[in-house]
Structure 1
Amino acid sequence: MRRLILLLSMIALPAFAAELGDDGLHKTDWMRDTFKDLTEDLAEANDEGKRFVIMVEQRGCVYCTKMHEEVFPREDIASYIRENFFVVQLNLHGDTEVTDFDGDVLSEKQAARKWGILFTPSILFLPEEVGDDATAQSAAVALMPGAFGAGTTLDMFTWVNEKRYALDSEEDFQRYHARRIQERADGSTD
């Protein structure tokens, strides 16, 4: 019986494997292929009524793989991101040019270094308006460093989308997330 289960799991595995691009990074249908001019990307996100997100990943990252195989494929999460966010992927070690909000033109790896990104995946959530003297890192309203479970990931995207990071908000992310966990346990949320 164990052999049968192992065989079936090996056969089913390729159907769930995340698609890898030529750069070795996982690709989803909700990621945007842009010229990586962050000011233009932010404007396009705003025109679509979406929040701008920069997702930094790297080839061979086991945590990126975990997110792309276990978290992002969940329909509730994928559809929420697709409907509400404009996601641009950067390669932690990439050479593609990125134009930061402050006008600096850097390679992806230089931009990640400038922003202090050390871990992958790292997700930078941007506000609707960013000054031309700001960097992506300094303007970010939230940073999600590393791999998290489905509930934490969905809660972070929801918390940002609902602008709960605002200074006048009484519920920081940790309190919001704790409340959402309790609501899910009580069955009082979807």
Structure 2
Amino acid sequence: MVRSILVAAAFAVLAALPARAEVGEDGLHKEAWFSITFRDIAEDIAQAKSENKRLVLSIEQRGCIYCQAMHEKLLSDPEVRDYIKANFMVVQYNMFGDEEVTDTDGESLTEKTAVRKWGYLFTPTLVFLPEDPPTDLSVDKAAVAVMPGAFGKWTFLNMFRWVREKGYETDEPFQIYHARIIQELRAAGRLGAE
């Protein structure tokens, strides 16, 4: 009896631990729900739109502890994961990868030359793209928002919400939007005073 209680308690503790993200052959942490595409970004934008979603590029690199934290702490959180899955098509890019990419301006490059062209220096960097692909702008110029680096749950999730709600088209910048949402969460008792 005591043994079965201890075994059940051990399984409960293991179930409560954050999920460890799978690591692919390229050294990047993987999510089963990330989209695998031909990396033609204009086509990916169109595909996301046809699914009533927005395209976001997740630029990562092997050994990145912040990428690992994003996968294990943020993308494993059901509230965060479920919101992103329902509203965004995520395509992962390797900052130093050799896969072919077709930029929104039509230029063909490798992942590493595309990331260098776009000027992104940190991982993870999340690049949120418009609903309609531009034909004369590269990704860095077409992006409606960019989130460089690792953030806490609410900053991370609120950026996705702000983009989905097209906050970039309003007079409310992300920082004001985020502060307002945090106040609403506190008022609803979903956040402490931290």
TM surpasses 0.5: yes
1:150 to 150, 153, 156: 153
Please report how far the alpha carbon of residue 130 of structure 1 lies from its aligned counterpart in structure 2 after TM superposition: 2.4
User: Alpha-carbon deviations, 1:134-184, whole Å to 9, x = none?
Assistant: 111100000000001111011000000000110xx1211000000111111
Amino acid of the residue matched to residue 165 of structure 2? E
Q: Distance in 2 between matches of 1:58 and 1:68?
A: 13
Tell me which structure has the larger Cα radius of gyration.
Answer: 2
CA positional deviation for 1:30: 2.4
Q: Which residue of 2 aligns with 1:117?
A: 120
Q: Which residue of 1 aligns with 2:142?
A: 139
Spell out the pairing of 1:19-58 with structure 2 (5 A cutoff). 19-58=22-61
| Residue 172 (structure 1) aligns with | 173
How far is 1:15 from its partner?
6.9
Task: Give yes or no for contact 1:101–1:135 (8 Å, CA) kept in 2.
Answer: yes
- Look up the match of 2:186: 185
Alpha-carbon distance change, 183 to 11 in structure 1, aligned in 2, over 3 angstroms: closer
Moved more, 94-103 or 12-21: 12-21
Deviations 1:27-49 (A, max 9, x none): 11221010101111111111111
Whether the 8 Å contact between 1:30 and 1:81 is mirrored in structure 2 is no
| TM-score for both structures, normalised by structure 2 | 0.88
Q: CA RMSD in A?
A: 2.1
Q: Contact 1:97–1:108 at 8 Å: present in 2 too? A: yes
- Alignment match, 2:132: 129
- Conserved 8 A contact 2:59-2:92: yes
Overall identity of the aligned pairs, in %: 51
| Preserved contact between residue 18 and residue 73 of structure 2 (Cα < 8 Å) | no
Which shifted more, 176-185 or 105-114? 176-185
Q: Distance in 2 between matches of 1:145 and 1:177?
A: 16
TM score, norm. by length of structure 1 = 0.89
**Paired residue for 2:87?**
84
Pick aligned residue for 2:62 from 56, 59, 64: 59
**Which contiguous aligned blocks of 4+ residues in structure 1 show a shift greater than 4 angstroms?**
10-15
The equivalent position to 1:101 in structure 2, one of 96, 100, 104, is 104
Aligned equivalents of 1:78, 1:107: Cα separation in 2:
28
Name the CA distance, whole Å, in 1 between partners of 2:97 and 2:178: 33
Kindly tell me the number of residue pairs found equivalent between the two proteins.
181
Report the Cα distance in structure 2 between the residues aligned to 1:131 and 1:102, rounded to whole angstroms: 7
Task: Tell whether the 8 Å contact from 1:100 to 1:135 is kept in structure 2 after alignment.
Answer: yes
